[in-house]
Chains A and B, each alone.
Chain A
């Protein structure tokens, strides 16, 4: 039952719960998205993402200098059911909804700045 205790330990942290919640809202996110939406440092974001990676919650994909992450749980597995339950628990929380709104705003702003960067030649965000 050590495995299960480790599984729950990976959920026993606010930042990791927020990251999983964001990844349930958007299929794939760059480390810079997590940093921007949660307002945390790259070192903190990367540390928690690697933790989630080692526990099998997420998969990574390198794109230039940035890492992208997405959920990697097997459909029908206990882990997937656990994520669904987590989503159910968090969906009624105002804090979680506000986080989703912030993600939407962040991604919209990123899209705009990319367009701007393309025309002005200034790279605002290094990812993709």
Chain B
């Protein structure tokens, strides 16, 4: 039953539970989203994400300098049932709801920043043809 003990150990940490909860809401998230929403350092976020990756909870996708993560439990697996139960446990939790609101705000701000940056990028890109 060592595998099962390890399975539960991966959930026996507040930060990892929060990350899974955010991924349950957000589909795919960048490490920077986890950092922004939870207010933790990149080293801490990456460490826990690698832990979840090694246990098979999440899969990763590199995009430039940053890693993106999303849940990857097979449908009908114990892992998926556990995540469903986790979502059920957290749904009535004010702390969990506040966390989702923070993620929502964070993603909203990120989108706005991108829109602001977009014209500058265009100006920058106009240099390219001359190169």
Chain A residues in contact with chain B, CB under 8 A? 1-2, 4-6, 8-9, 11-14, 17-18, 21, 78, 81-82, 85-86, 88-90, 93, 95-96
Q: Give bound CA distance, A82 to B86, whole Å.
A: 9
Tell me which residues from 28 to 72 in chain B have a Cβ below 8 Å from any Cβ of chain A: none
Indicate whether A14 sits within 8 Å of B12 (C-beta atoms), given known contacts A1-B96, A78-B89: no
If A4-B17, A5-B14, A17-B4 are given as contacts, then 6 extra A-B residue pairs at C-beta distance below 8 Å, sorted by A number, are: A2-B14, A8-B11, A17-B8, A81-B88, A85-B82, A96-B1
Say how far A2's CB is from chain B's closest CB, in angstroms: 6
Q: Is the CB of A90 within 8 A of B12?
A: no
Q: Does residue B5 face the partner (Cβ distance < 8 Å to A)?
A: yes
**Would you list 7 pairs from A and B whose C-beta atoms are within 8 A, ordered by A residue?**
A11-B5, A12-B8, A12-B12, A14-B2, A82-B85, A85-B81, A95-B1
Residue of B nearest to A12 (CB): B9
Q: Is the CB of A14 within 8 A of B11?
A: no
Say how far A18's CB is from chain B's closest CB, in angstroms: 6
Say how far B109's CB is from chain A's closest CB, in angstroms: 24
How many residue pairs between the two chains, A and B, have CB atoms under 8 Å in the bound complex?
71
B-side contacts of A78, CB under 8 Å: 85, 88-89
Q: Give bound CA distance, A73 to B90, whole Å.
A: 18
Nearest first, the 3 A-B pairs at minimum CB distance are A12-B9, A9-B12, A11-B8
Say how far B16's CB is from chain A's closest CB, in angstroms: 8
Q: Does residue B13 face the partner (Cβ distance < 8 Å to A)?
A: yes
B-side contacts of A9, CB under 8 Å: 8-9, 12
Say how far A11's CB is from chain B's closest CB, in angstroms: 4
Which single member of B4, B11, B86 contacts A89 (CB below 8 Å)? B4
A-side contacts of B4, CB under 8 Å: 11, 14, 17, 86, 89-90, 93
Residue of A nearest to B81 (CB): A85
Q: Give bound CA distance, A1 to B9, whole Å.
A: 15
B-side contacts of A17, CB under 8 Å: 1, 4-5, 8
Say how far A88's CB is from chain B's closest CB, in angstroms: 7
B-side contacts of A81, CB under 8 Å: 85, 88
